[in-house]
Structure 1
């Protein structure tokens, strides 16, 4: 279990997050939602020790996160930060070796994941040759190669067309069924409706909602609007914009 206990991160101009606490277990798909600047990305940075926090603690299976247990966590990075001249399979192997995996094993693991995800057609292509949707799938190979227990995805479907979003979200759903914990942040929160089983809402740096989610009865937009009332108008416009995207974008 990943546990956040009263995490506070202060910046010079404001408090990024304040007393953020929640648990994250295997087989959960958590939707972490909030407006721009609410504290989603800051929370993720704290989990991976990318920023220091002034108060609280983060535990992974009862221990503080250090280099020895960091491989249990995986982060799905933005496609803007990947080497475009690197092959999909080479990027995955590189990530595994950097995490301490033997090269021979890394090659075997990379090929196994590529086969499982049916990505043989792109494994030897450079990221720069791929559409937005295929880039995301290529990144997923590198994300999974160390067999993490918990995967954190920050806006994984950003800049994808509707079909590519659905394909990626279905893969993410399958991962949770293989006993992996998934945490997703997204501005397109309507797309999380059918996939998540737990919802966390963060507003102005504070957790305002943290409960199991029943996608047959609960509605994310209703919960969001109840606990982030000042964001209601902006959120509605955001939904309208995203739903208005066409399939003319590349996958």
Structure 2
């Protein structure tokens, strides 16, 4: 497990991170979300040792991270760090060699990754000749070529088309499935919601919420329910313990004060006609995000 404990980072009088604590579990995909300037990149750079914290610690399985530990990390910065004049395969092999792999193994790893990321036909092209989306794929390959134990990725899905997003998702899911902790930031909340086991939400340098995605939904999102009946549901407004939020013919969106009140709605609906659907409204990550940062 990768864990940040009480991390604080200041730039003069500005506090970039204020007592930040969260963990990234082994084999867990953790989405790190927040607005521009919230502190995501600063936290990631502290994890990698690129920046030093003014207070707090970063540990792996309870032990402070060392330079040797960090060599086993895969890091993708938001700003691309590739050499534009190098050919794609040559570039990825070079990064594998920097991490200690021999030429044959680094080449084998690179070819496998580039195939999975949809760049097999571009391996002899220079990086600068690629589209921005394909450069992003190459940057991801550079972060993964040495088979890292931990992944820390800053906006890995930026600029990718839907097909590329699927390819990257498959690769990251595979790494998590092998037991690697995976932390990535993204402004694309739909991808985070679809892919992640856990969420960390940060605003103004402070953690506003952290934990399993399903638990955060239950904690931070209001329990609202949807009812769709084959007849008018106007009777719903007269039931005790029910607050109707939206009503249109046979459809209603409502809140129930208790489970008993919710069950009363279902019994009454069955008495009035055929219930087409009844259940809790699906709450999106965007809704949760707005709830915890406002």
Identify the TM-score tier after normalising by the shorter chain: 0.7 to 0.9
Greater CA drift, 147-156 or 97-106? 97-106
Mapped contact 1:79–1:139 kept (Cα < 8 A): no
- 1:194 aligns to what SS in structure 2? helix
Greater CA drift, 89-98 or 102-111? 102-111
C-alpha distance in structure 1 between counterparts of 2:169 and 2:79, whole Å: 16
Structure 2: gaps (5+ residues) = 218-280
- Structure ranking higher in strand proportion: 2
Task: State the TM-score, normalized to the length of structure 2.
Answer: 0.71
C-alpha distance in structure 2 between counterparts of 1:77 and 1:65, whole Å: 19
Match of 2:229 in 1: none
Greater CA drift, 192-201 or 54-63? 54-63
Greater CA drift, 171-180 or 203-212? 171-180
Match of 1:7 in 2: 7
Mapped contact 1:7–1:53 kept (Cα < 8 A): yes
Match of 2:239 in 1: none
1:176-223 residue CA offsets vs partner (Å, 9 max, x unmatched)? 223322211112212222111101101111111001013995521121
Q: 1:125-144 counterparts in 2 under 5 A?
A: 125-144=125-144
- 2:71 aligns to what SS in structure 1? helix
Match of 1:64 in 2: 64
1:220 lines up with 2:294 in the alignment: no
Mapped contact 1:123–1:138 kept (Cα < 8 A): no
- 1:193 aligns to what SS in structure 2? helix
C-alpha distance in structure 2 between counterparts of 1:228 and 1:134, whole Å: 34
Match of 2:241 in 1: none
Mapped contact 1:31–1:184 kept (Cα < 8 A): yes
- 1:207 aligns to what SS in structure 2? strand
Change (3 A) 1:147 1:217: farther
Q: CA RMSD in A?
A: 2.2
Match of 1:249 in 2: none
Q: 1:10-25 counterparts in 2 under 5 A?
A: 10-25=10-25
Matched residue count: 229
C-alpha distance in structure 2 between counterparts of 1:178 and 1:132, whole Å: 29
Match of 2:124 in 1: 124
Task: State the TM-score, normalized to the length of structure 1.
Answer: 0.82
Structure 1: gaps (5+ residues) = 230-251
